[in-house]
């Protein structure tokens, strides 16, 4: 499959847990104040604390739970960058973890169908492909969601594609291959 060279990773969404005993748990307000000294922290009493380190790339959303914090990170295309900025975040909060497990939740890729065509009739694809949605008056892209996959492709008329809901490069490659196979049946 030659799709590998066509795929570009644009964003990662990852999460990790900071286990804290209830008696040691910091309030959402105190975490927000501590983080505000080091970057942009925004307190949302419903969702938690949103934080971006000054000079950093990643954005963190910290949610307080019964047994600690759940942290969601986004804004970069590098797991290493997430690790670096997570270490900085933990240092600011004076938290030492024996083991940090960062789980990739979602990856966003872009690609092109230009090896098939430069211009795509999205109305035709919408009629002939299964599991699609397209209304050019509402949104300029065709949305393709194969049943039970949890993955989505957005196809634009200029042959650009956005793929979301995958958790690895290999999964994105396979998904792109299947999309191209479906499009080939209709356009070629």
pLDDT of amino acid 172: 94
Q: Is the dihedral of CA 184, 110, 178, 132 positive or negative?
A: negative
CATH number of the domain bearing residue 66 = 3.30.310
pLDDT of 62 reads 92
User: 61 and 129 in one domain?
Assistant: no
**Does some domain include residue 65?**
yes
Distance CA 155, CA 122 (A): 8
Find how far residue 126's CA is from the centre of its chain: 25
Token pair in block for residue 96: 């030492």
Residues 91 and 39 in one domain: yes
pTM of the model: 0.84
Spatial CB neighbours of 152, under 8 Å, sequence gap ≥ 6:
143, 144, 145, 163, 164, 165
pLDDT at 152: 96
Structural domain range at position 135: 113-187
Tell whether 95 and 37 lie within a shared domain: yes
- Asked whether residue 28 falls in the same domain as residue 84, the answer is yes
Which residues does the chain have with pLDDT short of 50? 1-4
Question: Which domain-ending residue is among 57, 79, 105?
Answer: 105
Read off the pLDDT of residues 88-142 as tens digits, 9 standing for 90 and up: 999 988 888 889 999 999 999 999 987 767 788 999 999 999 999 999 999 999 9
pLDDT at 40: 76
pLDDT of residue 3: 46
User: How many distinct structural domains can be found in the chain?
Assistant: 2
The verdict on 22 and 100 lying in the same domain is yes
Helices (H) and strands (E) in the chain, counts: 5, 10
């Amino acid at each position: 499959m030659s799709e590998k060279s066509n795929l570009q990773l644009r964003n990662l969404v990852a999460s990790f847990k900071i286990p804290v005993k209830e008696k040691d748990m910091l309030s959402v307000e105190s975490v927000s104040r501590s983080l505000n000294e080091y970057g942009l922290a925004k307190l949302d009493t419903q969702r938690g604390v949103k934080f971006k380190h000054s000079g950093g790339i990643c954005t963190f959303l910290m949610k307080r739970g019964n047994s600690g914090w759940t942290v969601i990170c986004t804004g970069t295309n590098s797991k290493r960058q997430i690790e670096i900025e997570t270490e900085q975040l933990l240092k600011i909060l004076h938290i030492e973890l024996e083991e940090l497990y960062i789980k990739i939740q979602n990856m966003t890729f872009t690609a092109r169908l230009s090896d098939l065509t430069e211009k795509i009739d999205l109305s035709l694809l919408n009629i002939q492909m299964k599991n699609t949605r397209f209304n050019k008056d509402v949104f300029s892209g065709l949305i393709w969601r194969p049943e039970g996959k949890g993955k989505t492709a957005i196809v634009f008329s200029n042959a650009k594609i956005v793929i979301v809901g995958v958790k690895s490069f290999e999964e994105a490659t396979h998904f792109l291959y299947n999309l191209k196979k479906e499009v080939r049946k209709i356009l070629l």
